[in-house]
Amino acid sequence: MCIFAPFLNKEDSLDKALLRPGRFDRRIQMELPDLEGRKAILGVHLKHVKHEAIDLDIVARATVGSSGADLANIVNEAALHAVRSGRNEVTTSDLEESVETIIAGAQRKGKVLSPEEKRTVAFHETGHALVAAMQTHSAPVHKITIVPRTSGALGYTMQVDSGEQSLLSKENLQNRIVTLTGGRAAEEILCGTITTGASNDIEQATKLARAMVTRFA
């Protein structure tokens, strides 16, 4: 028996009774698209919206791990951003903002930070960027912002790889941990104190370090 279920194509969403031996003649595992695949998918969805010349390469490199549905959502969000900005054509900046919205939430320009908090956030993000820029096995820094987001982030530093990476070396992983701790180090050195702003960085660094020991050995 062969069943085509386009809206229930994830194995973990099917009843276990349907997954017993003999129930399905064939299972097709759909992998996430690679760099060229993401470019092609973005191009397909962009055909349905008015847009200027789009740098698909930079958008595709910033969406590693995204599925086709994720990319469709990014294009839709970019179209909404263009309309809210009073334009009738989607630009590369709209797509980049859409990626950032999905990653970190929408901008909260109305959130009030004290001058001291703004200074701390600026030093924190600069610490991330400087550490990343000084490394040789680290993705280039693409953008730094201290505009608060709805996810709770008061700022972030975005790194975008120059190409697709299938394997990560020990140096790559160690550099990621070092970059994650760069913000806290900058706070301590330049502000003479530490804040709760590095809590998410420490959480990510801890998960990565644990994975290096328990999974990657």
Collapsing DSSP to helix, strand or coil, 180 comes out as helix
**Annotation marks residue 52 as catalytic:** no
Distance CA 95, CA 81 (A): 9
Nearest to 94 by CA among 53, 37, 122: 53
> In the numeric block, which tokens belong to residue 105?
């939430």
Under a CB-based contact definition with an 8 Å cutoff, are residues 156 and 125 in contact?
yes
Query: Which residues pair with residue 51 across a beta bridge?
Result: 90
Q: Which two tokens stand for residue 135?
A: 């490394």
Write down the H helix ranges in 105-193: 115-133, 170-186
* 188 and 212 Cβ atoms separated by less than 8 Å: no
User: d(Cα 109, Cα 49) in Å, to the nearest integer?
Assistant: 27
The catalytic residue among 125, 187, 188, 203 is: 125
- Cα gap 140→132, rounded to integer Å: 7
Token pair 């991330």 in the structure block, residue: 128
Active site residues: 125
